[in-house]
């Protein structure tokens, strides 16, 4: 009976943002320990990171291929790898670890083409491996609560939806002078590194994923516009999404919306009520039963305990949990799932409540369909 | 030198909502007095209203035609008529008064067809009469302030917009049982009374008008969906509006959005900053200069006095003004304009800051283009 | 059977703030008309105001004494006088009109000493006249709703309260240079014009009045501090109020609190729930039933209609009413009361729902007790 | 040159709330590792916790005395102990570890009497040991930013303050039936376990500490009331605090305020501006420069980077950090300080930015003075 897991990381050196988030989120759970890594292609950063995390000398790998091979051969090899590299490397690294029989946790987007995505989905299935995607926002307790409320009919039949994910950090790119000068902007707009889309790929996919996670609804048809403002790739996009059952959703993502930082907001309207959740205030969930006042539901409060999701908190009501905890909630389920699989225990739907490679494939499909609609200037079937 | 005006009203009996708003708004200004009316086709309501407002016996008219004729012949005849009837009557009543040389203030929508709208625009021009439309939300001080800030470059070049106008009062119509039973819903969905659109016509036009008022931008192309949920006319609509200069706006209007009452919210994003205004909290205006914190600008505060619009308040900062005052702001300009015309004085742009028949025509055009796009399932040129 | 009333005004010229509020509020009700006035001791302002409001030549009075005498002798004399002068004149003007048998509506504070206040209370009672005080905030629909909810036990037994009324407009007085230079500040700090208190007298009394109006509780004991910052009178004050039943309330009023404009906020906590109301967003009322989420109750919504106060709105839910309407709500009851008294009709508690001279006396008592506590540095019995 | 630290814990079994927060907060920093513990006096909980955290068999201690002795003798002994036991045990445990030469991190309150508190302060000084207190809220980035802004004169000279810390979780204690039945309430009201105060001791001290941390001001005089509602100790308290320079602060703490969960809100007003921070939305800081709009400053935003505190974030703007991160910020400084002391490096004020035993002593003093004032019914010197 295994109680602990070992994990490795590719990318995520100590200067990178998202690698640290993964490590701190996993560290909230005493059941897993970082033991191996290929943290950076810059040798000093790789060494500094390995030092900071006490990685043994023989598990500091110069490249991910060696890491996958060596770890797969050790009796105490890693149980999973967390991939925190730039997006264009996800596919090849994920594939390598899967082929060596190692579970994968991958940042989104999964990869750039649907062919690659399908290959990874099939490879994970064939190898019977866990392939988790860190769609961060599905980890928040109040998102899970909203999902459960919808499933239990608290807002009735869905009739309309609205989602936006808006930021302002690329507003500087609107100035033609910066379009050449800014390394960041150039990188963001280089198809080699960002695929066919910048904004939709980076944040729009989170918004689409969130609506699907909350409601289970699938898109049938889409119309989109993209705004490049002189850059090679999109910085802003408006869409109308038509789901099965004819439900329509307004959709907007932007990286040039002054005053917005990480503004992911989902609103779901049914014939019996409505729900609204905003990422920047993640412990609150606004619920309006039809004909009643809007209620501000608070994570951790007694009245949320009637829901399964209401019992997932680590902190009491009024003590903000934040994004690292949302990440930790994803990893909690991934760790439980991998542990149970190792121990031959039965998995429950609650254990498997994390986004996987199929959701990653959905994201890639979404990007391609949105870009297709914008380029053709028409509705496109999904 | 005239100092006072007399006005009459068609529709707007004491049980009707909007007639009272007009009267209370006008009463905030001592320069005008209600002296005549054809308040209702229900005789008791007509009399009760005339009694309540001290209307002389010879100026209580059974029908608007008589009223137009008689008032146009009196030396002390009304200076304008306010039309507060159901929408399908606007055209014929407005036309009648214009033909009798009487200025008109009309609730929106102006009328149902573009032909009728153009006829009214031309008739008002030919007769050199004022034809004001009470697009309520353009009367709010902070809307005017936002407009002035945009014109003065405070947010730079506009790059993206978002507007919504959402309510919940027809959510009961989603239940098929109610679709037959509810008088209100039936009326709302009867093309005879509502033209070709319910939701877009009733509130969507306000949203479109607000973006135009704020920015001066004109629509070039539009894609829309409408949701009828089993009714004859739309109850919910999503759109993408493409303006000149390629600026896109997400657009949503709904009467079935639980938790929203009169939720008109406009957000305008430029390369130097952003503005956000929400009708339910009309004295606040959110302004984000690029790279700076979001500022909550308050109507009446000292720092708004550098703008012309900052000096329009009737109440000091922190003392809420509300919708009746927005209405009164519209009428203040209408009264000034009519008075100045009577006195042969020169009109300033500030005097003429109210929506007119051309804006009413724009609204009718918008409805038709939106419905056309929804029916064809394509983008349509504007 | 009388249907209409005539009123006069003392003070309130067209350049003064509060006189216009009174007139616009009264004008929302077609049952009363301004017919007489002594608007200013500055002749030009008096005439301009009388002109603007179409006052007949023989009812434009140079002084309030003449006005009281002449109007009391006319068969069509005014039914009430609204007193909108500076505070130090309230007592003598109110007394004059009462002695001439004319009903009074007076701005707060009623007067400066308890002796004067008691004299006015007794005089009004002896003459059987209406003496209304425009404690503005008691006119808001959601304040009335909160009061009714408390009376109906929706928050159970009250256990704790908190009130604040904070503004920033005298923050400039903190600078010694301005203490001499600013006319306004000097006036505010001159006991001749402001009595023994500036801040407590001007806004603190509103806060105390609001708690009493909401709960019906009476103060038993008080401890207070006042901050003058070098001025002659208080600009800031903290208190603890102890009410009957041992309920304590935190109390704070200030005119030097940057970022606050007219920030009157009351919070009432009971053993079954809590209520919170904030003047700057007056159409919202926050209600938390014990163990349930906080509900944002909206003025005009269907779920408020189960309360009497829920039926007082002039505008539908989501259409902001504002302070002028709160004022109009007070006058609506005053007008109904005076009309019914003229017609010999029976008055209901709803008709009499306005603050009167006794409430004015309470306010004067409160000021004196607060100043006494601050000066002695002890708790004082009330 | 040491790079890593080892720590132990007394109390904090896996079922306890605060022990887990400490562990997860420390785990955000790879420089420290949990290696020893006396987690519970319940043997099963002790073992379960030790198992979950991989504690070696010889470092699982049945009691804290043995732990202090053994660890102090090991060459790889713990660098500090984190004390997470019930409050009444803090004194004896802290003393024991100090006497064995081990640094201490202690939950607040430090202890119950001022004599004990002084003893611990002196003992830590004599032994040259770090004695940190986890006054959680001083760990938030935006609290540190507010403190720095005040120090740098951004709000000028402080003229008024207001603080509240209100919760609702003991509202059930108001019911006499529950006062006997509820174990929790009984415990909270038993002086053996809670000292002379429940509410002021538990949360009021945080509020007092926060004002002092933000402003550096010291209390001179205090007047307080306490409400017990039939219990042995206070559940609610109002105070006026008078600081040096004559600045007054309104103060309120409560555990019976329906609708509030962990509502710590501080507002500081100066003659050049004001700041407001609310614990439930900790990434926002409201700043109002005099005469300007209120700005919502966001943790992680570019405009905060001009402040030292603006560079402390672990997550970018818009990605909520939450309470665990505030805790981690405290530990980050504690770890740095202990490491530097071990390495003989020079300590900076930034390193020492955590609350210590003297702050703990201040808290004990505050409790005693507040209770004294409430019991005497007078102002008391501090």
Q: Which residue of C has its CA nearest to A285?
A: C293
Does the beta-carbon distance from B298 to D298 stay under 8 Å?
no
Contacting subunits of A (3+ beta carbon pairs below 8 A): B, C, D
How do strand C5-11 and strand C80-84 relate by DSSP bridges? parallel
Q: Measure the N-to-C terminal CA separation of chain B; round to a whole number of Å.
A: 45
Residues of A in contact with C296 (CB under 8 A): 293-294, 296
pLDDT tens track for B91-122? 999 999 999 999 999 999 999 999 999 999 99
pLDDT value, residue B190: 80
Count Cβ–Cβ pairs < 8 Å, chain A vs chain D.
Answer: 109
Does the beta-carbon distance from B297 to D293 stay under 8 Å?
yes
* pLDDT at C184 exceeding the cut of 60: no
Q: Which CATH code fits A140-313+362-381? A: 3.30.360.10
Residues 107-166, chain C, touching D (beta carbon < 8 A) = 155, 157, 159-160, 162, 164
Distance, in Å, from the CA atom of D179 to the CA atom of D158, rounded to the nearest integer, reads: 42
pLDDT value, residue A379: 98
Say yes or no: C54 contacts chain B, CB-CB below 8 A.
Answer: yes
**Cα Rg of chain B, angstroms:** 21
Burial class of residue D22 (count of CB atoms within 10 Å of its CB; 0-12, 13-18, 19+): buried
Distance, in Å, from the CA atom of B154 to the CA atom of B148, rounded to the nearest integer, reads: 9
The torsion angle over the Cα atoms of residues B318, B324, B326 and B330, rounded to 10 degrees, is -150
CATH class held by domain C5-129: alpha beta
* C322-343 and B322-343 helices, crossing angle to 10°: 90
Say yes or no: D318 contacts chain A, CB-CB below 8 A.
Answer: yes
Say yes or no: A24 contacts chain D, CB-CB below 8 A.
Answer: yes
Does the beta-carbon distance from A30 to D21 stay under 8 Å?
no
* A285, C15, C274 from A299: Cα distances, Å: 8, 52, 20
* CB within 8 Å of A223: residues ≥ 6 apart: A239, A240, A373, A378, A379, A380, B223, B240, B379
User: Nearest CB to C250: which of D159, D250, D289?
Assistant: D250
Vertex B246 angle, CA B243 and B249, to 5°: 55
Alpha helices in chain D (DSSP H): 17-27, 43-52, 64-73, 90-99, 114-127, 141-151, 176-181, 183-188, 191-194, 199, 205-215, 322-343, 357-376
* CB within 8 Å of D23: residues ≥ 6 apart: A30, D9, D12, D34, D53
Residues of A in contact with D37 (CB under 8 A): none
* pLDDT at D103 exceeding the cut of 80: yes
Cβ-count burial B271-296 (b if 16+ within 10 Å, e if not): bbbbbbbbbbbbbbbbbbbbebbbbb
* A109 preceded by a cis bond (ω within 30 of 0): yes
Interface with B, mutate which of A258, A275, A294, A373 (most B CBs under 10 A): A258
Residues of D in contact with C285 (CB under 8 A): none
Token digits of residue A262: 């990480």
Does the beta-carbon distance from A238 to B250 stay under 8 Å?
yes
Interface with B, mutate which of D154, D291, D293 (most B CBs under 10 A): D293
User: Nearest CB to A28: which of D24, D54, D283?
Assistant: D24
Distance, in Å, from the CA atom of C184 to the CA atom of D90, rounded to the nearest integer, reads: 56
User: Nearest CB to D292: which of B291, B294, B303?
Assistant: B303
User: Nearest CB to B294: which of D292, D296, D302?
Assistant: D296
* CB within 8 Å of D267: residues ≥ 6 apart: C257, D161, D162, D163, D274, D275, D276
Q: Hunting for tokens 């121990």 — which residue is that?
A: A343
Is pTM, for the whole model, over 0.95? yes
Does the beta-carbon distance from B318 to C30 stay under 8 Å?
no
Does the beta-carbon distance from A297 to C293 stay under 8 Å?
yes
* pLDDT at B56 exceeding the cut of 60: yes
| Span B272-298, average pLDDT | 98
Q: How confident is the model at residue C1 (pLDDT cuts 50, 70, 90)?
A: confident
* pLDDT at C296 exceeding the cut of 60: yes
Strand partners, B269: B160, B274
The answer to whether A214 and A150 have CB atoms below 8 angstroms apart is: yes
pLDDT value, residue B94: 98
Distance, in Å, from the CA atom of C248 to the CA atom of C220, rounded to the nearest integer, reads: 10
Nearest to D136 by CA among D5, D267, D327, D332: D327
Residues of C in contact with A287 (CB under 8 A): 293
Nearest Cα of chain A lies from the Cα of C171 at a distance, in angstroms, of 29
Nearest Cα of chain D lies from the Cα of A373 at a distance, in angstroms, of 30
Same fold, C5-129 and C139-315+362-381: no
Say yes or no: B283 contacts chain C, CB-CB below 8 A.
Answer: yes
Does the beta-carbon distance from D164 to C162 stay under 8 Å?
yes
Mean pLDDT of chain D: 96
- Phi then psi for residue D27, to 5 deg, are -65, -15
Domain range list for chain A:
5-129, 140-313+362-381
From start to end of chain B, where are the E strands? 5-11, 32-38, 80-84, 103-106, 131-133, 158-166, 219-227, 236-243, 248-254, 263-270, 273-278, 284-289, 294-298, 355-356, 380-381
User: Nearest CB to D291: which of B292, B295, B302?
Assistant: B302
The answer to whether C349 and C332 have CB atoms below 8 angstroms apart is: no
Token digits of residue D149: 């802004």
* pLDDT at C60 exceeding the cut of 80: yes
Residues of A in contact with B294 (CB under 8 A): 259
Distance, in Å, from the CA atom of B252 to the CA atom of A248, rounded to the nearest integer, reads: 11
ipTM of the complex: 0.96
| Span C27-50, average pLDDT | 97
Nearest Cα of chain D lies from the Cα of C25 at a distance, in angstroms, of 29
Nearest to D210 by CA among D87, D363, D10: D363
Nearest to A256 by CA among B320, D79, B290: B290
DSSP string for D127-163? HT--EEE--GGGGSHHHHHHHHHHHTTTT-SEEEEEE
Low-confidence ranges of chain A (pLDDT < 70): 180-187
Nearest to B158 by CA among B223, B113, B218, B217: B217
Nearest Cα of chain B lies from the Cα of C27 at a distance, in angstroms, of 6
Does the beta-carbon distance from D293 to B292 stay under 8 Å?
no
Of all residues in chain D, what percent are helix, strand and coil, respectively (each to 5)?
A: 45, 25, 35
Say yes or no: A35 contacts chain B, CB-CB below 8 A.
Answer: no
Token digits of residue A100: 């060596």
* A162, D83, D102, D110, D121 from D95: Cα distances, Å: 58, 11, 10, 11, 10
Does the beta-carbon distance from B259 to A286 stay under 8 Å?
yes
The answer to whether D105 and D12 have CB atoms below 8 angstroms apart is: no
| Span B273-299, average pLDDT | 98
Secondary structure of residue C192 in the 3-state scheme = helix
| Span D94-112, average pLDDT | 96
* pLDDT at C181 exceeding the cut of 60: no
pLDDT tens track for C158-173? 999 999 999 999 999 9
Does the beta-carbon distance from B290 to A225 stay under 8 Å?
no
Token digits of residue A225: 């516009």
pLDDT value, residue B183: 53
Token digits of residue C162: 């908190």
φ/ψ region of B368 (left if φ > 0, alpha if ψ in -120 to 50, else beta) reads alpha
**Cα Rg of chain A, angstroms:** 21
Secondary structure of residue B351 in the 3-state scheme = coil
Domain D140-318+362-381 bears CATH identifier 3.30.360.10: yes
CATH number, domain C139-315+362-381, options 3.50.50.100, 3.30.360.10, 3.30.70.920, 3.40.50.410: 3.30.360.10
Secondary structure of residue B196 in the 3-state scheme = coil
Count Cβ–Cβ pairs < 8 Å, chain B vs chain C.
Answer: 109
Q: Measure the N-to-C terminal CA separation of chain C; round to a whole number of Å.
A: 45
Tell me which long-range contacts D286-293 makes (C-beta under 8 A, separation of at least 24): D286/C259, D287/B293, D287/D149, D287/D154, D288/C168, D288/C258, D288/C259, D289/C258, D289/D154, D290/C168, D290/C171, D290/C258, D290/D156, D291/B302, D291/B303, D292/B295, D292/B303, D293/B287, D293/B295, D293/B296, D293/B297, D293/B298, D293/B301, D293/B303
Fold of B138-316+362-381: Dihydrodipicolinate Reductase; domain 2 (3.30.360)
How do strand A80-84 and strand A103-106 relate by DSSP bridges? parallel
Does the beta-carbon distance from C324 to B316 stay under 8 Å?
no
Nearest Cα of chain D lies from the Cα of C299 at a distance, in angstroms, of 20
Lowest mean pLDDT among C167-176, D23-32, D56-65, D128-137: C167-176
User: Nearest CB to B273: which of A258, A286, A289?
Assistant: A258
DSSP string for A331-372? HHHHHHHHHHHHHTPPPPTTTT-SEEHHHHHHHHHHHHHHHH
Nearest Cα of chain A lies from the Cα of B36 at a distance, in angstroms, of 40
Interface with A, mutate which of B231, B254, B258 (most A CBs under 10 A): B258
Nearest to A277 by CA among A259, A296, A249: A296
Q: Hunting for tokens 């951790």 — which residue is that?
A: A300
Distance, in Å, from the CA atom of A271 to the CA atom of A290, rounded to the nearest integer, reads: 7
Does the beta-carbon distance from D286 to C155 stay under 8 Å?
no
Does the beta-carbon distance from C28 to B27 stay under 8 Å?
yes
Quick one: what percent of chain C has pLDDT higher than 90?
93
- Phi then psi for residue D12, to 5 deg, are 75, 40
Say yes or no: D298 contacts chain B, CB-CB below 8 A.
Answer: yes
Nearest Cα of chain C lies from the Cα of B259 at a distance, in angstroms, of 10
Say yes or no: A274 contacts chain B, CB-CB below 8 A.
Answer: yes
Residues 213-272, chain A, touching D (beta carbon < 8 A) = 260-263
pLDDT tens track for B301-342? 999 999 999 999 999 999 999 999 999 999 999 999 999 999
Mean pLDDT of chain C: 96
Dihedral of CA B150/B153/B154/B160: which sign?
positive
Distance, in Å, from the CA atom of B121 to the CA atom of B106, rounded to the nearest integer, reads: 12
* C109 preceded by a cis bond (ω within 30 of 0): yes
pLDDT tens track for B168-221? 999 999 988 877 655 555 667 788 888 999 999 999 999 999 999 999 999 999
Residue C152: CB atoms within 10 Å: 10
* A268, B358, D312 from A158: Cα distances, Å: 7, 38, 43
Cβ-count burial C112-133 (b if 16+ within 10 Å, e if not): beeebbbbbbebbeebebbbbb
């Amino acid at each position: 009976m295994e109680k602990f897991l070992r994990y490795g990381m590719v990318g995520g050196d100590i200067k990178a943002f998202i690698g640290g988030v993964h490590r701190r989120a996993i560290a909230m759970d005493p059941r897993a320990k970082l033991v191996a890594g290929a943290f950076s292609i810059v040798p000093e950063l790789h060494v500094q990171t390995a030092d900071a995390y006490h990685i043994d000398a023989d598990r500091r790998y110069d490249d991910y291929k060696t890491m996958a091979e060596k770890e797969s051969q050790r009796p105490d090899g890693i149980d999973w790898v967390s991939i925190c590299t730039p997006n264009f490397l996800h596919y090849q690294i994920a594939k390598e670890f899967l082929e060596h029989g190692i579970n994968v946790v991958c940042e989104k987007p999964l990869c750039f083409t649907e062919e690659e995505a399908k290959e990874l989905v099939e490879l994970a299935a064939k190898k019977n491996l866990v392939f988790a995607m860190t769609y961060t926002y599905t980890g928040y307790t109040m998102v899970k609560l909203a999902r459960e409320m919808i499933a239990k009919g608290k807002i009735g039949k869905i009739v309309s939806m609205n989602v936006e994910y808006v930021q302002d950090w690329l507003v500087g790119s609107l100035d033609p002078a910066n379009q050449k000068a800014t390394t960041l902007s150039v990188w963001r707009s280089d198809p080699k590194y960002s695929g066919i889309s910048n904004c939709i790929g980076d944040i729009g996919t989170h918004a689409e994923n969130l609506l699907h996670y909350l409601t289970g609804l699938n898109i049938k048809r889409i119309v989109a516009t993209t705004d490049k403002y002189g850059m090679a790739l999109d910085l802003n996009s408006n869409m109308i999404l038509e789901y099965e059952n004819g439900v329509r959703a307004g959709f907007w993502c932007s990286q040039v919306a002054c005053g917005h930082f990480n503004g992911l907001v989902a609103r779901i309207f049914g014939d019996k009520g409505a729900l609204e959740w905003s990422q920047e205030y993640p412990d609150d969930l606004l619920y309006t039963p039809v004909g009643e006042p809007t209620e501000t539901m608070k994570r951790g409060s007694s009245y949320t305990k009637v829901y399964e999701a209401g019992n997932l908190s680590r902190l009491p009501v009024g003590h903000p949990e934040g994004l690292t905890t949302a990440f930790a909630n994803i990893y909690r389920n991934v760790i439980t799932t991998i542990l149970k699989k190792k121990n031959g225990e039965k998995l429950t739907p609650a254990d498997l409540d994390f986004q996987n490679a199929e959701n990653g494939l959905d994201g890639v499909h979404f990007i391609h369909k949105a870009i297709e609609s914008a380029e053709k200037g028409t509705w496109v079937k999904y």
